[in-house]
Structures are given as structure tokens and as C-alpha cells.
């Protein structure tokens, strides 16, 4: 039963990402050129509402639909891993024009070259796992 819920949320999220054009390479390029408000509007309104939702859940200790408490673990404190990792991610995001969510969307939409990007992203994750202890975190 819960699997159906996860599948349903995924389908909905996939449709939103495609229809919002957040999965379009062109929109990502346009965003980094500061030539359209579109992507900033999407991320800004999602985060604005997200802040209200998350803070209300925390403030009023709202229980999940299953009656369990919702504990959101804070991220580990660090600067270098977020900055360096973030920069590498950003370089790839702008070049491939897709972050992980949109990769799955584009696969479904039939853009087969995205499979190369997705497999390379899995390889990048693998290499990170192997060299992670040698990197500043």
C-alpha cells in the first residue's frame, strides 16, 4: 500500500518538474544568465512555502499521518564539503542542464542521451565514495 503512495508522489513530482520546465536544459542556462525570473520563481516560492510548512511542523510538533513524531535531523556543521561539493555539483548542473530529479524525468520523457548523464552521475557517486576520505569535509 505504502509503495503505491511513494509511486504516486513520484509520478506527481515528475509531472510537475516536466510541466514547470525545470527539467529543461534551456531553463537552467537562462537561469544562470539571469535572463528570466521563471526558475527563481519556482525555487523561491517552493522554499518560501517550504519554510512555513517545515517551521509550523517543528513549532507545533505536528505528528505524521501515521501518528509518529517528525524529526528533521540537522545537517552536519562544515563549510568545505558544502562549498566544494556544491561548486562541483553546480558545474555539472549547468553543463548537463539537469540535476538528479530532472534526470529521471527526462528519461521518462524519452530523451535517451540522459541515460549517459544518469549513468555518469552514478559513477561520480561511486568515485566519491571511494575517494571521500581523502577530501576535506
The phi-psi region of residue 25 (left if phi > 0; otherwise alpha if psi is between -120 and 50; otherwise beta) is alpha
Minimum CB separation of residue 134 from other proteins in Å reads 12
Other beta carbons less than 10 A from residue 77's beta carbon:
6
Q: How far apart are CA 137 and CA 124, in angstroms?
A: 17
d(CA 10, CA 125): 22
* Closest separation in Å from C-beta 67 to other proteins: 10
Give the integer Cα–Cα distance in Å for 62 and 68.
Answer: 9
Shortest distance, position 61 Cβ to other proteins, whole Å? 13
Smallest CA-to-CA distance from 58 within 71, 67, 49, 74 is with 71
CB of 84 to other proteins, least distance (A): 6
Amino acid at each position: 500500500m505504502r509503495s503505491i503512495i511513494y509511486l504516486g508522489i513520484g509520478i506527481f513530482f515528475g509531472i510537475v518538474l516536466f510541466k514547470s520546465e525545470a527539467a529543461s536544459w534551456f531553463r537552467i542556462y537562462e537561469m544562470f544568465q539571469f535572463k528570466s525570473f521563471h526558475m527563481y520563481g519556482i525555487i523561491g516560492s517552493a522554499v518560501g512555502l517550504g519554510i512555513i510548512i517545515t517551521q509550523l511542523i517543528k513549532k507545533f510538533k505536528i505528528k505524521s499521518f501515521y501518528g509518529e513524531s517528525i524529526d528533521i535531523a540537522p545537517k552536519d556543521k562544515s563549510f568545505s564539503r558544502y562549498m566544494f561539493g556544491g561548486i562541483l555539483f553546480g558545474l555539472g548542473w549547468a553543463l548537463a542542464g539537469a540535476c538528479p530529479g530532472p534526470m529521471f524525468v527526462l528519461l521518462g520523457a524519452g530523451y535517451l542521451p540522459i541515460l549517459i548523464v544518469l549513468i555518469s552521475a552514478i559513477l561520480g557517486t561511486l568515485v566519491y565514495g571511494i575517494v571521500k576520505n581523502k577530501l576535506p569535509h
